[in-house]
Structure 1
Amino acid sequence: MRFETKIAVLLRDDLAGWQRLNATAFLASGVAAQWPQLVGEPYADADGTSYLGMLGQPVLILEGDAELLRAAHERALRRELTVGVFTADLFRTGNDDDNRAAVAAVARDQLDLVGLAVHGPKNAVDKVLKGARMHP
């Protein structure tokens, strides 16, 4: 199946495993919240047990160094794509209010980005993420 859009998460390449997973989960949830139409119907097994619906298209997970994250962030904003950000400070907070406060306390160009999510037309997302490599 071909999709007109692309969902991608870009992670900084020096994160611990648990940090990669945590940031990816939070960033993917932001995409689902911003574009609920991307979430499919609930699942059910053969016994009729219901399960949550999920994003209906693949989420590409990529990685790169801190400079690549800064460049991708800038390119995404320049292209007027909606971006989800995850900063290093968020590993030290414990709730959504503190997460938002941690991001709000830092100027855009000073954010210590460890991850970002972007959804948009394939070509635009590809250009934003130029230089990133697939997460191993």
Structure 2
Amino acid sequence: MPPSNAAKCTFVIDGDLPVGLAMNAVAALSLSVGKLTEGIIGDDVKDADGLSHRGITGIPLPVLRGDRATLRDIVLKSADFPDILVVDFTEVAQSSRSYDEYTERTSEIASAEIPYIAVALYGAKSAVNKLTGSLQLYR
């Protein structure tokens, strides 16, 4: 992975998701990216009173809007960029009540039929931009 000053993490969300489900998808993806990416979170900082505040990410985190076909294309095209970390989030994951249910249901779906609703990409800015540069901000 590139150093954090040359990196970018972008989230692409299905624009048809209700806002609450879209926020849930970004939260779930963020946790995975944070776990898998060393150095993405900065050090804790102190305010003028000495109160400590946990470190947050120091890189851009745009949230973009796409449709399900676009999400599938991004996931498939990302295979051409082996240095990009890709974390996908599916309708199956969001609708499952447990991780066991999610893994069982996913194991019954062919790769071409997986219903992507969100994806996070982390890597070099230029590579992430090649995959997402034409998309609009999620508003």
Task: Give the alignment's TM-score, normalised by structure 1.
Answer: 0.85
Q: Residues 7-64 of structure 1: CA distance to partner in whole angstroms, max 9, x if unpaired? A: 1000011000101100001111111111121111124444444333221212110011
The alignment of Structure 1 onto Structure 2 pairs a total of residues equal to 135
After TM superposition, the structure 1 = structure 2 runs for residues 51-70 of structure 1, keeping only pairs within 5 Å, are: 51-70=53-72
Secondary structure at the counterpart of residue 109 of structure 2: coil
Of 6, 19, 22, the residue aligned with 1:20 is: 22
* Corresponding position of 1:39: 41
Query: Does residue 118 of structure 2 align to residue 115 of structure 1?
Result: yes
Query: Does residue 109 of structure 2 align to residue 106 of structure 1?
Result: yes
Q: 1:107 and 1:101 mapped to 2: Cα distance?
A: 13
Query: Does residue 94 of structure 2 align to residue 91 of structure 1?
Result: yes
Secondary structure at the counterpart of residue 71 of structure 1: helix
How far off is 1:97 after superposition? 4.5
Give the percent of matched residue pairs that are identical in Structure 1 and Structure 2.
Answer: 24
- What's the RMSD between the two structures over aligned residues? 2.1
Give 1:109's aligned amino acid: A
* Corresponding position of 1:78: 80
Moved more, 51-60 or 88-97: 88-97
Structure 1, unaligned runs of 5 or more: none
Structure 2, unaligned runs of 5 or more: none
